[in-house]
Every structure is written in C-alpha cells, then in structure tokens.
Structure 1
Amino acid sequence: MPLLTSRPSLAMKICVGLSLVILLGLGTWQMDRLFWKQGLIDQRHAQAELPPIPVPVDTAVDPDMAFRAAFAEGRYLNDQEKYLMARTRRGNVGFQLITPLEQEDGRIILVNRGWVPTDYRDPKTRPESLIEEPVHVTGVLRLPKTKHWAQPENDALANQWFYVDVDHMAEDSGAELASRYYLELDETEVPGGLPIGGQAKVELPNNHLEYAITWYSLALSLIVIFVFYHRRPVENKEDNSNGNAA
C-alpha cells in the first residue's frame, strides 16, 4: 500500500510563515540591542578611565560627557542633604546621598556621594559623614535626569527625591547651580565608611545574546516541526478504499 506525505494547508503555511517572521525579527532585534548595549558599555568604560577633568561649569550639557571621569573641590552644605530614595545595594534597601558642594563664588555642584542604609538617614547617626573642611572629590559626570513614567513625584518638603532634578534641588538648597552636570563619586574611602561611593552603573547587564539565541532556537524548532509533521507518512485513502472493495 503506497504511503503519501501530508500537504500543509494554505492557512497552516500562512500561520507558520508569520510566526517565523516574528521569531526571526525578535532574534535580529535582540542582536541589534546586543551591539548597542556593548557599545554603550565600552563607551562608559572609556570615559571613566580617562584622566579626571574639573566638573564643567557655565556650559551646556553634552550627552557625550556622560560618565566622564571628573573631580570637584569645595565645601559640603551638610544642612542641605538630599535623599535619593529607594536605592538598593546588594539586596539592602537605602538611599543615595546628594549633597551640594559650594564653590568659591557661592554657587553649587550637586554631588552624589553614594549609598546609605535606611537606618542612617538621620545625619546624627553618621557624624563622620558631615565633613566641614574643604574637600577634593572624584567620580564621573552624570547628566540631569527626567522623570520616568513609573517614578513618583519628587517631594522637596519631605526631602524624598526619586530622580535627580538638578534645577529643583538647587532651588530647594537656596543656591545657584554652577554646573548642570552632577558628580557621582567613586569608591574612595570616606570617614566612617558612609556614604558608600561607586554606585554609578558603568557596567550594564547585557543578556541580549541569550535572548537572541532563544528566539532563533524557537524559529529553528518551528521549521523542524513543520517539516517533520508534513513529511510523516500517511495512508493513501483511495488505495485503501479500493483494496477494501476487492
């Protein structure tokens, strides 16, 4: 009795074809994201490893300066600390401490000094962090942030900030900005151990290759299933009916 292979219907072909296009498109998109993310990581590393420059003042913000190694000098306005809320470190919840750094002309540069556990929000619990003398601090330049749709509004009265709004923070401090960049400090040891610097994310998660492999693997699996399903032997019903008649 001769056996035939099944033929896919037009609807099946269209469904499989569209699914294949979508899966291959998602895989290609993830490859594009992979190269974009790796370029971004390389750029951040390169910027952070350059010799530090003074924080630029009286200049427009240049996006290419993000994560550029920089330094600043001045006096901390400890009574104007700002608390950047809901920041974690190694699974522990806390905040990042932003303190205005006063320049000789009275203007300020905002400095993200690093992470502090929630229990140490009250400055009295970390007196060593209230440095009075002039400081020289190093880190990387960061650009002003805009509010993400999922972030709460900043609350200056409660001193709860969820994104870095340099203009609003300067206004709340009663001082004029010297720079619209802010400086995020490195891991240089500080008195008392708090805040913990080095919170800038120079290294970013880059799992796009795994995602791309997943989508391409699903596309390949779909092709294999489609081919094997329609190459499986099926009984010739016409011959079978003739044989029964005989």
Structure 2
Amino acid sequence: MKFRLVPALLILLVIVVTVRLGFWQRDRAHQKEALEAHITQFENAPAQSVGNTPVELKDIEFHRVTVRGSFVADKVVYLDNRPYNDQPGFYVVMPFKLAGGGYVLINRGWLPRNVSNRETIEPYTTPSGEIAIEGIARADASRAFELGQGGSAAHQTIRQNLDTAAYAAETGLPLQPFVIQQTSDDGDRLVRDWPAPTTGVERNYGYMFQWWGMALAALGFGLYAARRAAKKQHAPGV
C-alpha cells in the first residue's frame, strides 16, 4: 500500500504533540492535587507564631499562623470589586505592627459597599492596642481583573489590587512577604466567610481529555485516509 510521506509525518507529529500535551496536563493536575492535600493538612495543623524574623512565602503559604501586635489604621487599603453573595463590597487590608518588630499585612475581611456613594466606606471598628490575630498565610489579599496600573498609585485608599512588595516600598514598612487572611473574630463587624482556595485541577483534567481526544481524532483521520488511498490504489483502472 502506497502512502504519502509528508501527510503521514504531519499526522504522526500531531498525534505525538497532542498526546504529550495531554500527559503534561495530567502531571499538572497531579501536582495541584498534591497541593490541595497540603492545604488541607496545613489548615488542620497547629497555628505557627510569626514574629519579626522574615519568613519566605514558600515556607508559610496556606499555613495557619498567629501574630501579636497592633493595627496601623491610617495606612488601610480597601480592595474594590470583591463581591460576597452577589453583593458588591471591599476587602479591608491593613498593616499590622508586630509586637517584636516588623509588619505584616492583614486581610481583615469583607465590607459591603455604600450603595448611595461608592467612595464612602461603611463603618467598621478597629481594635486599639495590642491584640492577637489568627489566620491563613496567603500570597496576596486576592486578585481581581485590572486594566493598567490604576490601583497602584501612592496614597490611594481604594484600589483594585495590592502587591505586597510594592506596598512595602511605597510605605517604607518592613513587611513580611505574605498576607494573613484573618479568621479570628475581634468584633469589628467584618465578614470572614473566605472562599476555599481552588487550584483549578478540573480544568487540567478537561484539557487532558481534549488533547487526547485530538490525538485520537488525528489517528482516526490518518487511518481513514490510508484506507481510502488503499481502495483507490486497488480500484479497477488505477
């Protein structure tokens, strides 16, 4: 049976590439499943005490932590476009001065938007003096879609996103390289019904099956083309 070399090689290349991409997505899914298992383990482990010694993000992310110190209320940032139960609102992010020195950002919780004036913040309370805070260490205070860098200007209280390193440079505060998502209650009337961290492992499995489906389709097309070529070759008068 004759076959055309170039089309056959192209089909083989498509099969090899799509099968490889499917395995890559499978490996990514397995990595994310392992991360989800670690997150569950960290959340059920005893809280780690954080002081003024810098802690790398990779060593603390998703761990339960506890800190002692006081809020720096005059440097608060409100992260806009953070809905809760379909209601618009803000995340209240505030520096926390650690008792032993240094600072860390605290995502204190969710606050509803003032429906009559979007620039007006609904009232809430901030504890004074030294208190203890418990929460989950996260890489940031959540990220929302942002066009350009409109939320990064200095002294802007309402922002779309907040980069920890950029905010440390802006304020001059020696911040830890992570944000604590507060879980303890201090009577401030903020909502702390935090969404569970998701890794998107379902998407990776979906992509995996898509790539492998494309590989099967390419294989089927190649076999079909080869069969048609064989029939044409053995047809009378050919």
Quick check: TM above 0.5?
Answer: yes
Q: Tell me the residue number matched to 1:229.
A: 225
Scaled by the length of structure 2, the TM-score of the pair is 0.77
Q: What is the correspondence of 1:89-100 to structure 2 with a 5 Å cutoff?
A: 89-90=84-85, 92-100=87-95
Q: Does 1:209 align with 2:205?
A: yes
Q: Which amino acid aligns with 1:140?
A: I
SS for the counterpart of 1:24 is helix
Note the C-alpha offset of 1:30.
0.5
Q: What is the correspondence of 1:4-19 to structure 2 with a 5 Å cutoff?
A: 7-19=2-14
Q: Tell me the residue number matched to 2:48.
A: 53
Q: Does 1:70 align with 2:69?
A: no
1:84-127: CA deviations, max 9, x gaps?
Answer: 3444445554332111223446753321112333438644x223
**Kept after mapping to 2: 8 A contact 1:86/1:93:** yes
SS for the counterpart of 1:137 is strand
| RMSD (Å) for aligned C-alpha atoms | 3.4
For structure 2, the residue ranges without an aligned partner over 5 or more in a row are none
Structure of greater Rg: 1
**Kept after mapping to 1: 8 A contact 2:81/2:160:** no
Q: Which amino acid aligns with 2:7?
A: M
**Kept after mapping to 1: 8 A contact 2:72/2:96:** yes
Distance in 1, Cα, partners of 2:134 & 2:119 = 23
**Kept after mapping to 2: 8 A contact 1:30/1:211:** yes
Distance 1:167 1:111, change over 3 A: same
1:67-91: CA deviations, max 9, x gaps?
Answer: 1111123332333211234444455
Q: Tell me the residue number matched to 2:153.
A: 155
1:1-29: CA deviations, max 9, x gaps?
Answer: xxxxx743112102211111221121111
Q: Which amino acid aligns with 1:196?
A: R
**Kept after mapping to 1: 8 A contact 2:146/2:160:** no
**Kept after mapping to 2: 8 A contact 1:185/1:198:** no
Distance 1:131 1:83, change over 3 A: same
Distance 1:133 1:62, change over 3 A: closer
Q: Does 1:184 align with 2:181?
A: yes
SS for the counterpart of 2:67 is strand
Q: Tell me the residue number matched to 1:138.
A: 134
Note the C-alpha offset of 1:164.
2.9
**Kept after mapping to 2: 8 A contact 1:61/1:143:** no
Note the C-alpha offset of 1:198.
2.5
Distance 1:83 1:132, change over 3 A: same
Q: Which amino acid aligns with 1:48?
A: E
For structure 1, the residue ranges without an aligned partner over 5 or more in a row are 1-5, 242-246
Note the C-alpha offset of 1:206.
1.0
Q: What is the correspondence of 1:167-178 to structure 2 with a 5 Å cutoff?
A: 168-169=167-168, 172=171, 176-177=173-174
